[in-house]
Structure 1
Amino acid sequence: MTRISVALVGLICWTVLAVPLFADQASDEAMIRKAVQDYTDAFNAGDAKQLASMWSPEAVYTNPDTGEQVVGQQAIESQFSGIFETSKGIKLSTTTTSVQFISPTVAAEFGSAQIIRSEEEPEETNYTAIYVKRDGKWLLDRVTEEDVPVVTSNYEHLKPLEWMIGSWVDEDDQATVETTCQWTKNRNFMTRMFAVTVRDRVEVSGMQIIGWDPSTKQIRSWVFDSAGGFGEGTWSQKGVSWQVQVAGVAPDGSKSSSVNVFTKMDEDTFTWQSVSRFAGGELLPNVDPVVVRRQPSQ
């Protein structure tokens, strides 16, 4: 038999064996996912006996409230009876993220759960549940949990500037300024990417970061441009306008300052003006208000 023939025979044999294997695994995963739903339903019905039957005879259960560990279905039933007695109306919500098979009879289910008690904030955890297959049925054997990290957000402090999110443009006969503003993850910062184009050539571009400074209880911003300049600003609201006290450093090391004023006209229009401008120790003329318009979403 040639080497190619041997390879083909091997491929055919593997295919014949693999199809039932994958089919069985898909069926087992469906059974585990159904077991999760049945477990959730039994918990929400307050049925301690039914819950205990879903654990293996030698399973170890850790009470999430007390940390106490018990072994076996009878002890687990007693634990759940106590939980339902002391926490009337307690409910469980579960979401399965994935199921991974360690062997044909052992699987790990990864997911998240919420424990809901009346008049309390839900307790959310990520968990890993180990299942073992006994007599054609998947049973719980171990569950480990970890609290979901609480992510802080400064969104409420930055929310008054949310109208700036989007793409904007202002232009005249000499230049076009395009700006795109968006949230970072968890809405802790806003980023404004800008580019100044003169005669189809980008003369300067850069990025501004806007965030909440918890030490000073103020909105602050930092800007960096492609020419090597940078600056920072402090924001304060004056009626419908925002005034930004800006201090900057030019690429040659000279310092500048100004007050930039953003005034919202409507959801799609605002004006920008720069006053009290100093650069290199000299007073510069004010920049008259420039109308900036929102660009349609792509």
Structure 2
Amino acid sequence: MSVTWASLCIAPVFADQEADEAAIRHAVEAYVTAYNSGDAKSLASLWSPEAVYSKPGTQEQVVGREAIEQEFSSIFGENNESKLVVDSKWIQFMSPTVALESGIARLTRPDQTAEETEYSAVYVKRDDDWLLDRVTEKLTPSMGPNYEHLKELDWLIGTWVDEDNDARVETKYAWTANRNFISQMYSLSIGDQIEHSGLQVIGWDPTSRRIRSWTFDSDGGYGEGRWKKSGKVWHIINLGTLPDGTKSSSSNIIKYVDDDTFTWQSVSRMCDNELLPNVDEVVVVRQKDSAAETE
């Protein structure tokens, strides 16, 4: 089944969007430079006059450019050696003068554990300048012991779609609490009806020291998989049990293309000791309006 990109729900494209996106990324860089220089005045100038900043943790609001300058003057006075690194993940234009930018901010201080937050920033265009208007941050959860083994799959987090004129497969990956596991919810729709769905949990098996997955589908079947990585390709050896007790097996191949694209194929498929045809390779794409989330 092939993907029809034009049929996905994506944001509209506005004139000069490429230039506007570059301007916003430049504003993000200017913000980091001002922060790491301890320059509260320059940092405040990057906000709109009526901007609102919500503090991470408490979500207390700081309103207006002057109050924001005072807030960061206080922060810099207490932590003048702190350093900020920002990983801007994506920018989505809501209108020609409003854009949403989000990413990960990492703050380090001498002799302290680094603090990481997920942020969402609304930019508004005023007199050809893109200014911060609203920023919210939330502290990322503490990482569980399994995260180190699963972090290579972090790019999967989000919603993915493979569709053609006949059917649509939608898959949603999300971290569970403390990022010890990844949950996957999937569904196959034909027209307006969901024909098949299921749940998969991906985790680290400390006994076999490998990534494993456990799958449960809406028909009553279940299975488990063993994951192995080779370069940018993941091979998953699956063993399953159908609702009537019949045994099945397959080898699924996931090839990373980029952060918004991967391919999927299923080969060496067996059911009740009979060889089944391979499933041709399909291209799967990320829904642009989906953000990575942690349950």
TM-score, normalization: structure 1? 0.49
The higher-RCO structure (CA 8 Å, 6+ apart) is 2
Larger Cα Rg: Structure 1 or Structure 2?
1
TM-score, normalization: structure 2? 0.50
* Greater helix fraction, Structure 1 or Structure 2: 1
